A = this chain, B = another copy of it.
Amino acid sequence: MNVLVIGAGGLTGKKIVKQLAESNQHLVRAMIRKAEQTDEMERLGAKAILADLEQDFSFALNDVNAVIFAAGSGSSTGHDKTIAVDQEGAKKTVDFAKEKGIERFIMLSSMGADTIEEAPASLVPYLEAKKAADEYLIKSGLNFTIVRPGGLTDDPGTGMIELATRFSPMGGTIPREDVAHVLVESLTMKETEGKVFEIISGYTPINKALTRI
């Protein structure tokens, strides 16, 4: 497939780009906001697409079969950026994906987007943005998968997870490398189509966990 990764310059985004390129199953387009990330994306084996989620980026979806949305404004930005990027950026991507007839849409969401009433106050704006984006995608008619990881870490991936409709509010963490792996696998696994699920580190091989959704 010809896959567009949105948020390719981020911590999880880079791991997604790398895994997609290494799979040799996909052509990878890496959407980045900063020109200085171009070299890194090309070194990873992707075609860099310079575009901004807060502008018109519909051209980035030309000739693309699948989208992995992994953009996030980050925890250091204010509420306005969370709305602009995590929520409105995602919703615009959904709109463009419909216009262009994209076959597959994988959304990187967050554990707790379904249980906001139980979240710490500092996370509420972020979770509300993710929830609004997820609901917009679910209603879009696109062929979606929504992946909601627990707390992200930079530990090396283990390839082993647990997967459920809801772990929250119980919590848990997971390395970004394993999250990237789940997103990439979901692209081609029929079992994940139309599904929303949470993941944390665990003892089940990723492929196995994804077959029994």
Contacts and interface: CB of A to CB of B under 8 A. Distances in A.
Contacts of A168: 165
A168 B160 CA distance: 21
Interface stretch (A18-26, A44-52, A197-205): A197-205
A164 interface: yes
A23 to B, nearest CB: 24
Contact of A164 (B164, B203, B212, B213): B164
Contacts of A197: 170
Contacts of A203: 160, 202-204, 208
What secondary structure prevails in chain A residues at the interface with B?
Answer: loop
A204 to B, nearest CB: 5
Nearest to A115: B165
A10 to B, nearest CB: 27
Nearest to A205: B203
A212 B162 CA distance: 12
B172 A212 contact: yes
Interface residues of A, number: 18
A101 interface: no
A166 B164 CA distance: 6
18 contacts: A160-B203, A162-B164, A162-B202, A164-B164, A164-B165, A164-B166, A164-B167, A164-B198, A165-B166, A165-B168, A165-B169, A165-B170, A170-B197, A170-B213, A202-B203, A202-B204, A203-B203, A203-B208
Interface of A: 160, 162, 164-170, 172, 197-198, 202-204, 208, 212-213
Given A164-B167, A164-B198, A203-B204, 11 more contacts: A160-B203, A162-B162, A162-B204, A164-B165, A164-B166, A164-B170, A165-B168, A165-B170, A202-B203, A203-B203, A203-B208
Of all A-B residue pairs in the complex, the 8 with the closest CB atoms, nearest first, are: A164-B164, A203-B203, A166-B166, A165-B166, A203-B204, A164-B167, A162-B162, A170-B213
